[in-house]
Structure 1
Amino acid sequence: MPSYAICPLSNVPIRSNSSDKSEIVSQLLFGELAEVLETKGRQWAKIRCIWDNYVGWVAANQLKAITPSELSVFREHFAYSLELFQPLMADNEVIPVVMGARLPNFDGMRFALDNTVYTFSGQAVFPEHIKPSAEFILKIARRYLHAPFLHGGRSPMGIDAAGFIQMVFKIANIALPREAAQQVYIGTAVDFVEQSMPGDVAFFENRTGRITHCGIILPDAEVIHAFGSVRIDKIDHYGIYDRSEKRYTHRLRVVRRMLKTEATPKQVKRRVSGHIPNQVELF
């Protein structure tokens, strides 16, 4: 019979191998669920993340085993924390959680886990109350502004480009894969960046043509993305333009629309004449 686990800590590293020295490839946030595929001694568990099927290794003492019946309840009944940081309060303990953490079987004020009752007094949202929209996507995205870049990160304490996209859309109740090279196959293509709308996702390629970066389109020909930190830059048909360095940093490959067609805010404007000088460094 398969075994399952829940993340009982603020955030937990998922590694490429069963070693503290191996690369951090993703993270589990509080309340997220996983299937345990195999174990290595008592120290390591190879897991498959329930929400995106991502596979990696987690220290066994950073997981809490749950039953199949608990898994069923926790999958269907939960809320997302919308607070950048907020403590869970219990009688004798405090657990800080970050935005996007899952509050299992939350009743609007509290929930129980492992016979401990936790109170959450911050802002939270139930998936069934979410109506995905460009406005909601942009509000969530902007909350991550200035979060430091961290390869494998998925929290305001540290986040990478694909993790940023995944988390914003996850909170909006839209499931996306973990990697940019997988996310690019979701949604519908937008023919030209000038036709893109706020909430669309732009994907960028390296010199070999591999998708390595992504960001969310904002109004006024801007994009919010994780590069050094979550930041806002200009975008046009070439790619992302860093105004402070006066150069392009990422080459645009394609724009994808993840949201269903709706009455969205006005389309992203064409770049303002004179915004980008004629003589600039291209990538």
Structure 2
Amino acid sequence: MQYGICNLGIVPMRFEPSDKSELVSQLLYGECFKVIEKRKKWSRIRVSYDKYEAWIDNKQYLEISQETYNDISKSNTILSGDLLEYVSDKNNNIYTIPLGSTLNGLEVLEHNFDGNRYDKVEDKSQLIKTAFLYLNSPYLWGGKTPFGVDCSGFTQMVYRINGHKLKRDASQQATQGDALSFIEESEPGDLAFFDNAEGDIIHVGIIMEDNYIIHAHGKVRIDRLDHSGIYNVETNTHTHKLRVIKKII
């Protein structure tokens, strides 16, 4: 088994080993992974954090030892705290890194970081404050950053920055936590999940106070939430059908 670490700001994770293949997620700076299949130009990886599997370009990561992988994966995660930060190498080359990048591998990568580390607060309301950092970020299928994010990438990163683990996709996240019977039982920071006509969960958002929800749909936006689903006041229509509300923490 081989192991690797992301030494660039954002690396695309693709469904197939091709630059033309669908973007399914992103690897952010400092994230570690196992290489479960290696080809001439591409590697299929399994991310340490959420066990998500996809293909990345062999030119876009650094190989590390199993010992280093274990040390970084088991240590308390330290994340970058601003929308955009940078690290520098011994030659003073600069690499920009997005919000939520992992800083545990700085020594291995021989990089310096002088920016802000995210200060985790044991307060559920902090989830909403973090979510606002992504407000108006454009929707991007497979995205996990303020420069492009999908619905479950948004919720995963907001929770991760605050020290709580969510799986990658909305349907996977819906298997976590405890179901609530009514919106009135929810608290800011709880997750609401939405399904399609076939009953498949396809969307997730973070519940706010007073029946509002923040979610990624076109962009990260705030809409109304009622027992039917998400109501867009700009179009006067329901855009998503409510399936279940989950309390994760």
Q: TM-score range by the shorter chain?
A: over 0.9
State the Cα distance separating 1:60 from its structure 2 match.
Answer: 0.6
What's the counterpart of residue 99 of structure 2?
99
Q: 1:220 to 1:13 in 2, by over 3 A?
A: same
Report the Cα distance in structure 2 between the residues aligned to 1:119 and 1:29, rounded to whole angstroms.
15
Q: Is the 8 A contact 2:87 2:111 kept in 1?
A: no
Report the Cα distance in structure 2 between the residues aligned to 1:119 and 1:216, rounded to whole angstroms.
31
What's the counterpart of residue 28 of structure 2?
29
Q: Is the 8 A contact 2:33 2:69 kept in 1?
A: no
1:169 match: secondary structure: helix
Aligned pair 1:119/2:113, yes or no?
yes
Aligned pair 1:198/2:193, yes or no?
no
Report the Cα distance in structure 1 between the residues aligned to 2:243 and 2:181, rounded to whole angstroms.
11
Report the Cα distance in structure 1 between the residues aligned to 2:144 and 2:131, rounded to whole angstroms.
13
Aligned 1:1-283 pairs, distance under 5 A: 2-41=1-40, 43-75=41-73, 76-90=75-89, 91-105=91-105, 111-114=106-109, 116-121=110-115, 123-125=116-118, 130-259=120-249
What code does the residue aligned with 1:37 have? I
Q: Is the 8 A contact 2:98 2:146 kept in 1?
A: yes
Q: Is the 8 A contact 1:83 1:98 kept in 2?
A: yes
State the Cα distance separating 1:117 from its structure 2 match.
Answer: 3.5
Farther-moved stretch of structure 1 (249-258 vs 62-71): 62-71
Q: Is the 8 A contact 1:194 1:236 kept in 2?
A: no
Percent identical among aligned pairs is: 38
State the Cα distance separating 1:87 from its structure 2 match.
Answer: 1.5
Q: Is the 8 A contact 2:10 2:28 kept in 1?
A: yes
Report the Cα distance in structure 1 between the residues aligned to 2:170 and 2:113, rounded to whole angstroms.
35
The runs of at least 4 aligned residues of structure 1 exceeding 4 Å deviation read none
Q: Is the 8 A contact 1:45 1:60 kept in 2?
A: yes
What TM-score comes out, normalization by structure 1 length? 0.84
Q: Is the 8 A contact 1:6 1:31 kept in 2?
A: yes
2:69 match: secondary structure: helix
Report the Cα distance in structure 2 between the residues aligned to 1:244 and 1:139, rounded to whole angstroms.
24
Report the Cα distance in structure 2 between the residues aligned to 1:191 and 1:77, rounded to whole angstroms.
35
Which structure has the larger Rg over C-alpha atoms?
1
Q: Deviations over 1:136-162 (max 9, x none)?
A: 111111111011000000011100001
Report the Cα distance in structure 1 between the residues aligned to 2:111 and 2:54, rounded to whole angstroms.
30
Alignment size in residue pairs = 247
Report the Cα distance in structure 1 between the residues aligned to 2:33 and 2:76, rounded to whole angstroms.
16
Gaps of 5+ in 2: none
What's the counterpart of residue 263 of structure 1?
none
Root mean square deviation of aligned Cα = 1.3
Report the Cα distance in structure 2 between the residues aligned to 1:192 and 1:257, rounded to whole angstroms.
12
What TM-score comes out, normalization by structure 2 length? 0.95
1:69 match: secondary structure: helix
State the Cα distance separating 1:131 from its structure 2 match.
Answer: 4.6
2:206 match: secondary structure: strand
Gaps of 5+ in 1: 106-110, 260-283
Report the Cα distance in structure 2 between the residues aligned to 1:88 and 1:66, rounded to whole angstroms.
19
Report the Cα distance in structure 1 between the residues aligned to 2:107 and 2:9, rounded to whole angstroms.
16
Farther-moved stretch of structure 1 (245-254 vs 83-92): 83-92
Q: Deviations over 1:69-121 (max 9, x none)?
A: 2112222154101110011134421011111100125xxxxx4234x341222
Q: 1:256 to 1:77 in 2, by over 3 A?
A: closer
